[in-house]
Structure 1
Amino acid sequence: MTNYTIEEKDSFTVLGIGTELKSDYTDYAGITKEKADFWHAVKEDGKLDTLKAVATNDYIFAVNEAVNNKMMHYAGVMTKETLPEATRVIQFPKGEYLVVKGEAKTAEELSNTLTGIAFGQALAEAKNVAYVGGPNTTVEMGQRNGLVFGEMWIPVVRK
């Protein structure tokens, strides 16, 4: 039994800097490497810090979204501001979300673990809801006891 909840969330906006994932959607190792390389780059070049400077809270969002038949991945923050470096303003709808909580040694490990649990187990177990697309995100919320903690949020509809 997977630990997940269904939660009502207000609509929110994430300002993101993104990259197109070129690996096939079934190539988990390839996608994981592309995401890791992307996160390393946005931390090294200061773009993540630029985003954090306009954030309304301390959360860091790792957003996955299909845009024009491309798999996109974004580093983002919750904000009402815009930046020239940003590549997309991502709208998350008001509604129900499947939420998986967890913690890990690194933000990357947290994102990979939560994504695996959410798509590999929780959505299959959640018989009364379905994911019908739209952006989904892992949310790095902070650190405690030497671990990064956060959640995965997937918009769902009732079956």
Structure 2
Amino acid sequence: MSKEPLPYRRNVGIMLVNREGLAWVGRRKDTPDAWQMPQGGIDKGEEPRAAALRELEEEIGTANVAVLAETAGWLRYDFPPELRTKGWMKHYAGQEQKWFLCRFLGADDEIDLETEHPEFDAWKWVPVAELVGLIVPFKRAIYERVVAELGPLVRA
């Protein structure tokens, strides 16, 4: 009797860029030196675009953005074996993500990492070309695809 394969968790990611065309990354509180763009799960019945705006509010304290574009399809990555035993991750093979390119319309002082459930302990703006090199290895292929598809749409 074979075991059913684990499903992929539906998720959104946000490439948030400022007026200078730099991308926002946050350093994860739970993983030293792990940087990432905002991302999170889609709630039951929630549209991906609404989930992206909610995740921005939950993770960086503001959704003062304009949505500029989204990936044409869903991008998928697998969790490494050592993470598949932790918390909610043990129920999924990985994540299937819809990515959004958003322009931040506010001022940097609007960004507040002290949210109800803080995920980041630091943040910075970086050139889009540097994103992939900052990311944990198991997410790099997704970031390469996001940068290839959405990066050319970023304008200062």
Relative to the length of structure 2, the TM-score reads 0.27
Q: Which has the higher contact order (CA 8 A, sep 6+)?
A: 2
What TM-score do the two structures reach when normalised by structure 1? 0.27
